């Protein structure tokens, strides 16, 4: 469906050329039952003059039979196409609609709000770049709102437009809107969603959907359509790491052998080196072939056929990758799984896993935990029920190539298929967790050193431990950590300083700043700190580490009493003043994402061994306060 353009009648070729060059935005509408999703989409299409006359006439006829808006036209019927949907007044299936405006082309997926059909919502979200989440102004944030938001964050959707609908039913009250916005933005920060915009509206009346509302005089932001037309999503694409899952081998004659597929990430150019995974054989791109001729380059998400300079073995299910930053190859992976079947997910049962173009038998070896979508807490469980989400270990029958989902979605997503019914029973998103491959940790025995930690510490005359300094960027962690190590050195103690910023340049140079990447970074620092503690040293570690779960993981890796948590506390305003690296200003400008205190919430320690208010006491006083605690715990002797 296209907008009404005068060029259609006067110069169709110019119109079609302009239409081809428009940017395409795929978005999803979701939320709880009766939040007004279908009515919102109908209003969006109707007020944008994107409904054909015969469609409107049919809806007018059906409104008298199925409508819920009295004598007015029920615009929800434009997208509720199934008879059962119209009879019940709910969305069951995913309804896709295509439309365009002067600025942009859109594919919209109207997804069900009922908990029973959460799996359909996940299907619609899997290809979306943006999520429109509707909330009934009378009810506020519901469980299903949180579940849908969590699934959107799992699926890598970085842009959320929160539509606070039915404002007419709360008398256009600004306080109600602000309370809902504050509640949702707080939840979104915990999910790591970097871009949230909130709009008050009434889909039934048409206020603020396409046209500005006189009833919402206190709101001076853009309308919903203006946001849809202007929000920038192109920067989300990964064009750095080449990934081409092989869909088929093109062999029309003995003179041509090409490998066809859709680029999942990166840019391909003739002459570029590639590695075929999981085999590991290398070659170079010779040609990029299309129906209209060879290309000088191709980029995601184009579908292409490429030829290689060498006759290497490449077949369907393999992945052509950049050799500089190749995909991970493993026969096991950890993944967040959304379970979509009536029968629960039980460890030990065999399934088929389809990841990109590869399909391999697999077993869900272990369910690490279930995720409570309300509190985001990890809950122990032995199974996953319908619509539940959990972190699982998946054991594959053969090695496959994959990436963490939050880095490259198309090579990190997979579906779980029942081997008897062939139904899709689950969807998974690979995480950057420790994986097992043949010849690694499963098969290598752990050997104990002859010297013990006690012997090494006794030689140095000290009790080893890890002093973990956590706090916002700019709170003074690194400054305090350096001063503390110098004080220990002057007193004759053997210590080592680990600064998390320096770890990012070496041991963790391959990690980003997503929730999973942060967890992996802390795991690596914890492993390093544990080794230093085993060597009998006092480890001073300065790490932002914004999540309590990650810091608790460090504590669990050490023996009781070996971790001393120090909260270096300072107001974010003071941290901004101290920001010599311009981190906060870059986050405000959108150059970096996921900065605690800006994009995500910093979870302060509940009961740290030491609390330092760096806005109230200086570095020397802070060092003395920590040393006193170390003396009380028997780590040092002052």
pLDDT digits (tens, 9 = 90+) for 415-424: 999 988 899 8
Q: Is the pLDDT of residue 410 over 80?
A: yes
Q: Is 37 helix (H, G, I), strand (E, B) or coil?
A: helix
The more confident residue out of 106 and 66 is 106
Q: Is residue 441 scored above 50 in pLDDT?
A: no
Of the candidates 102, 105, 48, the one whose C-alpha atom is nearest the C-alpha of residue 78 is 48
**Range 222-233 average pLDDT:** 88
Lowest-confidence range among 10-24, 125-139, 181-195, 307-321?
10-24
Lowest mean pLDDT among 14-18, 39-43, 89-93, 271-275: 89-93
pLDDT at residue 548, as a whole number:
86
Nearest to 569 by CA among 621, 613, 616, 624: 613
pLDDT given for residue 471 in this prediction: 93
Band (pLDDT 50/70/90 cuts) for residue 5 is low
Q: Where is average pLDDT lowest: 6-15, 308-317, 357-366?
A: 6-15
Under the phi-then-psi rule, with left for phi > 0, alpha for psi from -120 to 50, and beta for the rest, what region is 325? beta
Q: How many helices (H) and strands (E) does the chain have?
A: 17, 27
Q: Kindly tell me if the per-residue pLDDT of 85 is higher than 50.
A: no
What's the pLDDT score for residue 338?
A: 87
Angle at 334 between CA 331 and CA 335, to 5 degrees: 120
pLDDT interval class at 479 (50, 70, 90): very high
Q: What is the pLDDT of residue 55?
A: 60
Residue 574's pLDDT is what?
92
- State pLDDT tens for residues 600-620: 888 999 889 999 999 999 999
Share of the chain above pLDDT 70, in %: 83
Of the spans 28-32, 356-360, 519-523, which averages the highest pLDDT? 356-360
Instruction: List phi, psi (to 5°) of 67.
Output: -65, 160
Of the listed ranges 117-121, 146-150, 356-360, 633-637, the least confidently predicted one is 117-121
Q: State the average pLDDT over residues 64-82.
A: 54
Question: What pLDDT does 436 receive?
Answer: 43
pLDDT of residue 438: 40
**Stretch 250-278: mean pLDDT, rounded?**
92
pLDDT at 8 over 70: no
- Does pLDDT of 280 surpass 50? yes
Note whether 402 and 387 are within 8 A (CB).
Answer: no
* Cα–Cα nearest to 307, from 272, 279, 277, 278: 272
C-alpha dihedral, 504 to 506 to 512 to 518, nearest 10°: -60
Q: What pLDDT does 82 receive?
A: 38
Q: Which has the minimum average pLDDT: 109-123, 457-471, 590-604?
A: 109-123
Which pLDDT does position 439 carry in this prediction? 41
Q: How far apart, in whole angstroms, are the C-alpha atoms of residue 429 and residue 76?
A: 33
Cα 387 vs. chain centroid, distance in angstroms? 18
Q: In whole angstroms, give the CA distance from residue 392 to residue 369.
A: 7
User: Above pLDDT 90, what percent of the chain?
Assistant: 39
Distance of CA 104 to the CA centre of its chain: 25
Q: Which residues contact 597 (CB under 8 A, 6 or more apart)?
A: 472, 473, 572, 575, 584
Over residues 462-467, the mean pLDDT reads: 92
413-417 and 563-569 as β-strands: parallel, antiparallel, unpaired? Answer: unpaired
Query: If you average pLDDT over every residue of the chain, what do you get?
Result: 83
Least confident of 42-51, 476-485, 628-637: 42-51
Is the overall model pTM greater than 0.75, yes or no?
no
């Amino acid at each position: 469906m296209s907008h009404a353009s005068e060029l259609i009648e006067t110069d169709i070729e110019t119109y079609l050329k302009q239409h081809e060059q428009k940017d395409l935005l795929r978005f999803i509408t979701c939320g709880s039952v009766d939040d007004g999703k279908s009515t919102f989409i109908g209003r969006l299409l109707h007020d944008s003059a994107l409904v054909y006359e015969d469609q409107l006439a049919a809806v007018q006829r059906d409104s008298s039979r199925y409508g819920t808006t009295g004598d007015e036209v029920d615009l929800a019927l434009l997208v509720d196409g199934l008879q059962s949907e119209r009879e019940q007044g709910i969305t069951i299936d995913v309804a896709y609609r295509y439309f365009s405006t002067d600025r942009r082309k859109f594919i919209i997926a109207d997804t069900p709000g009922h908990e029973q059909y959460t799996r359909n919502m996940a299907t619609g979200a899997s290809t979306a770049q943006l999520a429109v989440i509707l909330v009934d102004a009378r009810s506020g944030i519901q469980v299903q709102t949180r579940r849908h938001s969590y699934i959107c964050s799992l699926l890598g959707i970085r842009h959320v437009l929160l539509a606070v609908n039915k404002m007419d039913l709360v008398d256009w009250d600004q306080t109600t809107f602000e309370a809902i916005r504050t509640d949702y933005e707080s939840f979104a920060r915990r999910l790591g969603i970097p871009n949230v915009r909130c709009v008050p509206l009434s889909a039934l009346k048409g206020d603020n959907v396409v046209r500005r509302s006189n009833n919402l005089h206190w709101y001076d932001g853009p309308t919903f359509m203006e946001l849809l037309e202007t929000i920038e999503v192109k920067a989300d694409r990964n064009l750095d790491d080449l990934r081409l899952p092989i869909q088929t081998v093109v062999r029309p004659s003995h003179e041509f052998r090409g490998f066809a597929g859709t680029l999942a990430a990166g840019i391909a150019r003739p002459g570029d080196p590639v590695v075929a995974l999981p085999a590991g054989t290398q070659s170079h791109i010779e040609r990029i072939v299309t129906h209209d001729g060879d290309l000088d380059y191709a980029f995601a998400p184009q579908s292409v056929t490429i030829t290689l300079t060498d006759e290497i073995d490449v077949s369907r299910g393999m992945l052509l990758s950049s050799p500089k930053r190749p995909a991970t190859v493993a026969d096991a992976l950890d993944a967040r799984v959304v379970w979509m079947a009536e029968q629960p997910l039980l460890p030990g049962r065999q399934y088929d896993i389809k990841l990109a173009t590869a399909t391999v038998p697999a077993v869900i070896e272990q369910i690490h935990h279930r995720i409570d979508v309300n509190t985001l807490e990890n809950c122990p469980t032995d199974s996953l029920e319908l619509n539940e989400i959990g972190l699982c270990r998946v054991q594959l029958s053969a090695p496959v190539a994959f990436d963490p989902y939050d880095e490259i979605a198309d090579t990190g997503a997979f579906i779980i298929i029942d081997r008897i019914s062939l139904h899709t029973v689950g969807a998974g998103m690979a995480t950057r967790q420790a994986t097992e491959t043949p010849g690694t940790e499963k098969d290598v025995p752990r050997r104990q050193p002859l010297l013990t930690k006690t012997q090494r510490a006794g030689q140095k005359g000290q009790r080893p431990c890890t002093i973990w300094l956590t706090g916002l960027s700019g709170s003074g962690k690194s400054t305090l950590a350096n001063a503390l190590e110098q004080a220990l050195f002057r007193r004759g103690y053997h210590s080592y300083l680990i600064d998390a910023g320096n770890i990012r340049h070496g041991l963790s140079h391959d990690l980003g700043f997503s929730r999973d990447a942060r967890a992996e970074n802390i795991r690596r620092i914890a492993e390093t700190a544990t080794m230093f503690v085993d060597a009998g040293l006092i480890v001073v570690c300065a790490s932002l580490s914004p999540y309590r779960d990650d810091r608790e993981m460090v504590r669990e890796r050490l023996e009781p009493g070996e971790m001393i948590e120090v909260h270096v506390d300072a107001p974010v305003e003071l941290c901004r003043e101290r920001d010599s690296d311009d981190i906060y200003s870059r986050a405000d400008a959108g150059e970096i994402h996921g900065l605690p205190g800006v994009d995500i919430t910093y979870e302060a320690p509940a009961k740290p061994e030491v609390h330092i208010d760096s806005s109230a006491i200086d570095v020397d006083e802070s060092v003395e306060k920590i040393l006193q605690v170390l003396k009380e715990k028997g780590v040092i002797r002052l």
